[in-house]
Structure 1
Amino acid sequence: MTTPENFQGWVGHDSSAAKGNLRWESFKPKPFQETDIDIKVSHCGVCGTDIHTLRSGWGPTHYPICVGHEIVGHVVRAGESAQTRLQVGDRVGVGAQALSCLRDDCEECSSGMEQHCGKGFVGTYNGKYADGYWSMGGYANYVRVPAHFAIKIPHAVKSADAAPMMCGGITVFAPLKKNGAGPGKRVGIVGLGGLGHFGVLFAKALGCDRVIAISRRRNKEEDARNMGADEYIATSEDEKWEKKHSRSLDLIVSTVSSPDMPLSGYLRLLRTNGQFIQVGAPEDSLPAISAFALIAKGCKVGGSQIGSPKEIEEMLMFAAEKGIKPWIQERGMKQANPTVVDMEDGKARYRYVLVNDDHGDSRL
């Protein structure tokens, strides 16, 4: 099958796009290279990053732009070099990264940490390739990406479930695995949104002794417990929650992107030598913290960014083995504009997935 010269998708032309002003129109993808594949998009998750980017919240966005980096579909064209990994007909997923330098002398790429490449990182959208073309994402009928960053989807994982794992899932799976989440560990997940719900699901499946969901209000407690949370903390409703749960957690993964989060309170929850890992990215700075919050217990504060192709593959195999199913709401691709608005308004329970009308059997 040949792909059209121009693709079609939901395109934003200025920051008002985040308010539901995307336009369905044609756009020209980057020139096809022998390392590339074209994917006919069947599903695309809606990520908070899409909203930040559409409104230029993290810095100036290059408009026009088609967002979407939780992409699943079938390979319909594969360059000669790409065919060593993928073939036409393969069902694949693409996350938030489309390219890195992939050089042997790059410390990150040569050691399987492509997501931290400082020489050639290109996002799946709003990223600039070396030839000057800008990457365009998956709110579209097709997407063109280098094959290195496309991962085969296990047969046991449905396409609609795999889509939000490509960014939302790996964003929490990677730091949980890297920081020892598993038997004998007590883990807290801050925020019960698209990322946070994955955190609870994965922490429970990894066999953590206790999984604690932490949110502002108590309205999501029943959901959190149904996902596998053993306890629930509502920071705006529970009196003296920091004191009551002090020194109770080995690891906290924070998925929230609010600059006014009670960070000092979260650090009080850590045990000696505990770790706090931030994955949510506020448009403003994180709150200030006292040095003694770290010194007194030997705590560590760190961050994590998505995951490498190898880590995404590991996550998908783990999800297939454990039967992990995200809580999603499927909507037609034609509903992208109201879906973006609902996402911004916090209505997702817990991840929206856009579905192209002609996607066919979601397992194939």
Structure 2
Amino acid sequence: MSGEQDYKFEGWLGKDKSSAEGKMVWGEFPHPKPFEETDVDIQITHCGICGSDLHTLRSGWGPTPYPCCVGHEIVGKAVRVGKKVEKGIKVGDRVGVGAQNESCLKPDCEECSSGLENHCQHMVGTFASPRPDGSITYGGYADYHRAPSHFVMKIPDGIASEDAAPMLCGGITVYSPLKNNGCGPGKKVGIIGVGGLGHFGVLFAKALGADKVVGISRSHDKRDDVLKMGADEYISTNDDKDWAKHNARSLDLIICTVSSPNMPLMDYLGLLRTKGTFIQVGAPEDKLPDMNAFAFIAKGVKFGGSMIGPPWQIEEMLNFVAEKKIKPWVQTMPMKDANQAIIDFEDGKARYRITLVNEKHL
């Protein structure tokens, strides 16, 4: 193990729902996780901004245990490494942590024993999530992060830290359902909502070899960007009032990143070919729109969901990105400007992800 801890766990703390309006306050974590010999302490250099951060800051998915420090797309340097860490992680390695910090990892756990740790009933999120000992996890809008090594990844040399960070949640959220549902040659794939998640969807679907990749969004203003990302076609649902009719039964697989309870879900389902698959990854704070059973029955289509991905698949994704030299569209902002950054993110100004840079650790 490296030398004893000589640093504090400090970061941007949300004290109440108003913190989502750019009112986070810098402070020390009240109860950081005690260090265990399976843990890695990370000196944070980069942290991506994810929609989950805003949902949590404003208690959108349920009551948040304030004070919280959000951010689960963490990249930095390993500065303290326990004697029982996995994966050969050493002090000085560039590593990352995604949206999951822990699971039970018990041999009799159906999910953990089959490489589906992200679906473990005892999953612990990277921030604002209670641990078995009663402590709370604190995320990456901070100087340091502590995590069990099972959920810490080495970052391949071919990926810049500001690009790797948003892949650890945003990237895997779409890579996993694309891979798990056969995206590749012979498949026509649609990505609904071309924001931070959706832009990864377009990049990955194209790199996985899909015959056709279609970006689907409300307005036409992202058309040029999406085509530059590699999409073959673009559907603007605001500009073509008959878009659902014109594109009916045209796609084998749809990944929906939209988290609006008002999205035209029945029209989206109409885009699927017979035996097609629709995977929802966006999580509305309210509810999904109403659906008619005949949207599934008539064509024998499947409606499913997906949540991030297990550690082994995140590592697979990172190696795939390095091999294919995939370059995400990422803006950077200083960690000190995190409050402004979350406002910009919420206002839809990101093109297409924002990564906070902790400049004092570069």
2:98 alignment counterpart: 95
* Separation (CA, whole Å) in 1 of partners of 2:288 and 2:347: 22
Letter in 1 for 2:111: E
Q: 2:331 aligns with which of 313, 329, 332?
A: 329
> What are the superposed Cα offsets for residues 259-317 of structure 1, whole Å, 9 maximum, x if unpaired?
11100001110000000000000001101111111111000000000000000000000
CA contact 2:188–2:253 (8 Å) conserved in 1:
yes
* Separation (CA, whole Å) in 1 of partners of 2:4 and 2:154: 21
1:2 Cα deviation (Å)?
Answer: 3.9
* Separation (CA, whole Å) in 1 of partners of 2:98 and 2:255: 20
Matches within 5 A, 1:6-85: 6-27=8-29, 28-82=31-85, 85=88
Secondary structure of the residue that 2:65 maps to in structure 1?
coil
1:178 Cα deviation (Å)?
Answer: 0.3
Q: 1:349 aligns with which of 348, 351, 355?
A: 351
Matches within 5 A, 1:285-300: 285-300=287-302
1:109 alignment counterpart: 112
Letter in 1 for 2:252: D
Secondary structure of the residue that 2:191 maps to in structure 1?
strand
* Separation (CA, whole Å) in 2 of partners of 1:218 and 1:329: 22
Letter in 1 for 2:106: R
Q: 2:127 aligns with which of 125, 128, 152?
A: 125
Secondary structure of the residue that 1:297 maps to in structure 2?
coil
* Separation (CA, whole Å) in 2 of partners of 1:57 and 1:16: 12
1:252 alignment counterpart: 254
Letter in 2 for 1:140: A
* Separation (CA, whole Å) in 2 of partners of 1:194 and 1:145: 25
* Separation (CA, whole Å) in 1 of partners of 2:241 and 2:16: 43
CA contact 1:164–1:351 (8 Å) conserved in 2:
yes
Structure 1 length normalisation: TM-score?
0.97
CA contact 2:86–2:150 (8 Å) conserved in 1:
no
* Separation (CA, whole Å) in 2 of partners of 1:5 and 1:183: 50
1:316 alignment counterpart: 318
1:29 Cα deviation (Å)?
Answer: 1.4
1:141 alignment counterpart: 143
* Separation (CA, whole Å) in 1 of partners of 2:275 and 2:4: 55
| Superposition RMSD in Å | 1.0
Letter in 2 for 1:54: L
Letter in 2 for 1:73: G
1:250 Cα deviation (Å)?
Answer: 0.1
2:221 alignment counterpart: 219
1:83 Cα deviation (Å)?
Answer: 5.7
1:194 alignment counterpart: 196
Secondary structure of the residue that 1:9 maps to in structure 2?
strand
Letter in 2 for 1:38: D
* Separation (CA, whole Å) in 2 of partners of 1:4 and 1:214: 49
The change in CA–CA distance for 1:58 and 1:174 in structure 2 (over 3 A counts) is same
* Separation (CA, whole Å) in 1 of partners of 2:200 and 2:346: 19
Structure 2 length normalisation: TM-score?
0.98
Count residues with an aligned counterpart. Answer: 359
The change in CA–CA distance for 1:84 and 1:310 in structure 2 (over 3 A counts) is closer
1:182 alignment counterpart: 184
Letter in 1 for 2:8: N
CA contact 1:6–1:29 (8 Å) conserved in 2:
no
2:240 alignment counterpart: 238
Unaligned ranges ≥5, structure 2: none
CA contact 2:8–2:144 (8 Å) conserved in 1:
no
* Separation (CA, whole Å) in 2 of partners of 1:51 and 1:275: 29
Letter in 2 for 1:113: L
> What are the superposed Cα offsets for residues 57-112 of structure 1, whole Å, 9 maximum, x if unpaired?
00000000100000000110011111663111111110000000000000000000
Secondary structure of the residue that 1:203 maps to in structure 2?
helix
Secondary structure of the residue that 1:61 maps to in structure 2?
coil
Provide the identity percentage: 62
* Separation (CA, whole Å) in 2 of partners of 1:330 and 1:220: 20
Secondary structure of the residue that 1:201 maps to in structure 2?
helix
* Separation (CA, whole Å) in 2 of partners of 1:264 and 1:247: 13
Q: Which of 74-83 and 130-139 deviates more? A: 74-83
CA contact 2:40–2:85 (8 Å) conserved in 1:
yes
* Separation (CA, whole Å) in 1 of partners of 2:6 and 2:286: 41
Letter in 1 for 2:354: Y
1:40 Cα deviation (Å)?
Answer: 0.3
CA contact 1:2–1:76 (8 Å) conserved in 2:
no
Letter in 2 for 1:295: I
Q: 2:263 aligns with which of 257, 261, 271?
A: 261
Letter in 1 for 2:308: I
Secondary structure of the residue that 2:138 maps to in structure 1?
coil
* Separation (CA, whole Å) in 1 of partners of 2:106 and 2:332: 39
